[in-house]
A and B are shown apart, each in its own frame.
Chain A
């Protein structure tokens, strides 16, 4: 369970998020939608402190993930990011072999005690990311030789290998063709049985297809959160309805 209370976020003097409060349920897919610059990606990145790497940023408010206070001074950010994995818009495999891409996190976190355990965990992660069948015979070839869709699923496998409870996805399919997009969406559907998934997407049909809950952001504010079927048939807010029906602005 992710619980966010009265979150404000600033890039220098410019406020990007205003008083966001939201509860994100376990093992469901929550989609964030909204126009470019509405703050949905910024908000996603507050959940595992990915904004910390941007100089001059500041956060107010509280984020609790499974009871852990994300912005407490005692929080181990490396451990947080292990528990809250992230997949980015552009797949970013390391210039290493397919195997090493997945094994990397396991090694640096010292999560395995033997070579055979490491191999087992790598296979398990590749299986979960629905890419095992495609790569099992070339695990030691460069990850950069994979197609865009395969690279993205490899990045998902890399995130899953270190056993997160939450997976954040920032437009994970926006650079992919429809076939590769379908595979990612099917994968999301499978993954929600085990993980809490939060996905940012520009594609409203994708939000409708993959998510159980949808949150609409506009100009740094959270306008509405509702079950996805309600959001797309009868949203509470007129602003949401205008956005969803394409009559915005």
Chain B
């Protein structure tokens, strides 16, 4: 039984590591948006500096997955768990990259006059963050039902993106002097919209892990 306890320990350690990566990603997004909304460039700078830690965690998760596959040959639910984690880690890292891009936009915009559309972006980012948290919770408890709920809620992010996109374009027309800054905000909105898509990917992996069902390209 020692051998299996060992495998369970390794799988637990892998779960802890990917959740740590998820936690760092969550914090990066939260702080990047805080930097933009509260015009705090110092916080934006910290998000950029912390990205190395996220990258390191991604590599560690990768390495652990490869080791478990090579040395333990996991099967069935163990295999689905390891494969899901291996595919989830780069998705989380990319979400953190989007957070860094938002932090860079914040640093640029914080030197310019404030824009009203930032409030809408805050609403969008709150939804993206709550999706990310719910996705990580669903993964932790292998809850495919909760993961499917999160996938459905991506529609709201897409709606918010469309609304913000059109609002910002309108502002760029009516107030041409804000065009450059509003263009940056469109990019921020796009980053948040992409984060919604990545969170959806995470949830699809959770459904695979829990049910062995491939729902990635299902059209509901």
Q: Beyond A233-B212, A234-B212, is A241–B7 a contact (Cβ under 8 Å)?
A: no
Contact in complex: A232, B79 (CB < 8 Å): yes
Contact in complex: B78, A245 (CB < 8 Å): yes
Q: How far is the CB of A143 from chain B (nearest CB, A)?
A: 35
Report the nearest B residue to A248, measured CB to CB. B4
Q: How far is the CB of B178 from chain A (nearest CB, A)?
A: 54
Please pick, from B3, B80, B212, the residue contacting A246 in the complex, using a CB distance under 8 A. Answer: B3
Q: How far is the CB of B106 from chain A (nearest CB, A)?
A: 44
Give A residues with C-beta under 8 Å from B.
204-205, 208, 232-235, 240-241, 244-247
Q: Is B56 an interface residue when CB atoms closer than 8 A count as contact?
A: no
Interface SS of A by simple majority? helix
Q: Is B77 an interface residue when CB atoms closer than 8 A count as contact?
A: yes
Question: Restricting to B47-100, which residues have a CB under 8 Å from any CB of A?
Answer: 73-80
Please pick, from B73, B78, B79, the residue contacting A205 in the complex, using a CB distance under 8 A. Answer: B73
- Total interface residues on B, CB under 8 Å, equals 12
Contact in complex: A232, B75 (CB < 8 Å): yes
Query: Within 8 Å CB of B77, what residues of A?
Result: 241, 245
- Closest 4 A-B residue pairs measured CB to CB? A234-B212, A244-B75, A241-B76, A232-B75
Q: How far is the CB of B210 from chain A (nearest CB, A)?
A: 11
Contact in complex: A233, B79 (CB < 8 Å): yes
Q: How far is the CB of B4 from chain A (nearest CB, A)?
A: 5
Query: Within 8 Å CB of A234, what residues of B?
Result: 76, 80, 212
Query: Within 8 Å CB of B74, what residues of A?
Result: 245
Query: Within 8 Å CB of A204, what residues of B?
Result: 75
Contact in complex: A246, B7 (CB < 8 Å): yes
State in angstroms the CA–CA spacing of A234 and B80 once bound together. 8
State in angstroms the CA–CA spacing of A244 and B72 once bound together. 12
State in angstroms the CA–CA spacing of A4 and B7 once bound together. 38
Report the nearest B residue to A242, measured CB to CB. B76
Contact in complex: A245, B73 (CB < 8 Å): no
Q: List 25 A-B contacts (CB under 8 A).
A: A204-B75, A208-B75, A232-B75, A232-B76, A232-B79, A233-B75, A233-B76, A233-B79, A233-B80, A233-B212, A234-B80, A234-B212, A235-B76, A240-B76, A241-B77, A244-B75, A244-B76, A245-B74, A245-B75, A245-B77, A245-B78, A246-B3, A246-B4, A246-B7, A247-B4
Query: Within 8 Å CB of B80, what residues of A?
Result: 233-234
Q: How far is the CB of A249 from chain B (nearest CB, A)?
A: 8
